[in-house]
């Protein structure tokens, strides 16, 4: 199938591997990307109130990819949802392509933050919630996706410890847990969030219905964390 034929179709989840296959070259971080694929699809397909036509809408939901060192799945989903042209995917990582090895918010429509340095997304998400509140915008949800190894970063520890007592109900964090973290805590990752006053749930990160249920779980007065357990696919 040609890129033109792909571009003329309406994309679904099963088209994502084909879209990802258009991105070639070194430093693909394939396993890091594929571990996030199902989470990203369910969020963009069924949960996030955002689209290409709402990129500048103050009332849109915000999605912040903190796990930015493996953005292939992110780019594939953005292309599938019409944020970026499918034709961009073939240039992934090249000198003159907007699709770098780390996402750049100034170059890619729909990207809210530049990311890739571990530990940045969740603190920025905390600040985003406060920025929205300062503008009287309490409806938009703020989502950030982090990797389990990122939780070793002190910046994330501080954000977790602050957000619970602050009652940041607009804040949602998805932790893609592929057992790459250096440290483990009794009770698992969800217990860490719960101890800080968050709502938290652990689910199979490949099960779309379980993910959707977890993403839409009510959590009045508290931030919400979803720990998505995955076994990374090769690629």
DSSP letters, 24-88, are: -SS---HHHHHTTHHHHHHIIIII----GGGTT-TTS-EEEES-TT--HHHHHHHHHTTSS-GGG
- The pLDDT of residue 179: 77
Q: 80-97: b or e for each residue (b if 16 or more CB lie within 10 Å)?
A: bbbbbebebbebbbeeee
Looking at per-residue pLDDT, the higher value among 151 and 79 belongs to: 79
| Phi, psi at 165, each rounded to 5° | -60, -25
The answer to whether residue 60 scores a pLDDT higher than 80 is yes
User: Angle, to 10 degrees, between the axis of helix 154-166 and the axis of helix 188-195?
Assistant: 50
pLDDT-based confidence at 117, cuts 50/70/90?
Answer: confident
Supply the DSSP symbol for 10: P
Cα 96 to chain centroid, rounded: 25
Distance, CA of 154 to CA of 41 (rounded, Å): 29
Secondary structure of residue 168 in the 3-state scheme: coil
User: Which burial class, exposed, middle or buried, applies to 70 when counting CB atoms under 10 A from its CB (0-12, 13-18, 19+)?
Assistant: buried
Looking at per-residue pLDDT, the higher value among 97 and 24 belongs to: 97
**Cβ proximity of 176 and 204 under 8 Å:** no
Percent of the chain with pLDDT over 90: 74
Q: How long, in residues, is the chain?
A: 235
Secondary structure of residue 229 in the 3-state scheme: strand
The answer to whether residue 2 scores a pLDDT higher than 50 is no
Bridge partner list, 224: 172, 199
Give the Å distances, CA to CA, from 105 to 61, 65, 229. 16, 11, 28
Secondary structure of residue 174 in the 3-state scheme: strand
What's the mean per-residue pLDDT of the chain?
89
Name the pairing type of β-strands 224-229 and 171-177. parallel
**Cβ proximity of 79 and 6 under 8 Å:** no
pTM confidence score: 0.91
Record the tokens describing residue 76, joined without a space.
């594939």
- The pLDDT of residue 7: 43
């Amino acid at each position: 199938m040609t890129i033109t034929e792909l571009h003329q179709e309406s994309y679904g989840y099963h088209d994502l591997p084909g879209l990802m296959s258009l991105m070639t070259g070194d430093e693909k971080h394939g396993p890091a990307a594929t571990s996030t694929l199902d989470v990203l699809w369910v969020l963009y397909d069924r949960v996030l109130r955002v689209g290409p036509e709402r990129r500048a809408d103050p009332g849109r939901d915000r999605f912040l990819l903190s796990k930015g060192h493996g953005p292939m799945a992110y780019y594939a989903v953005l292309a599938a949802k019409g944020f970026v042209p499918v034709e961009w995917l073939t240039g992934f990582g090249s000198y003159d392509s907007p699709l770098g090895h780390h996402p750049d918010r100034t170059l890619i429509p729909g990207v809210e933050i530049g990311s890739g340095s571990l530990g940045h997304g969740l603190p920025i998400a905390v600040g985003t919630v406060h920025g929205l509140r300062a503008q009287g915008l309490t409806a938009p949800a703020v989502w950030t996706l982090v990797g389990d190894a990122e939780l070793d970063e002190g910046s994330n520890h501080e954000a977790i410890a602050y957000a619970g007592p602050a009652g940041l109900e607009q804040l949602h964090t998805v932790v893609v847990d592929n057992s790459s973290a250096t440290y483990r805590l009794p009770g698992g990752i969800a217990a860490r969030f719960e101890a800080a006053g968050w709502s938290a749930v652990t689910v199979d990160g490949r099960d779309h219905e379980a993910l959707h249920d977890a993403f839409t779980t009510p959590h009045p007065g508290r931030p919400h964390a979803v720990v998505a357990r995955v076994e990374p696919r090769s690629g």
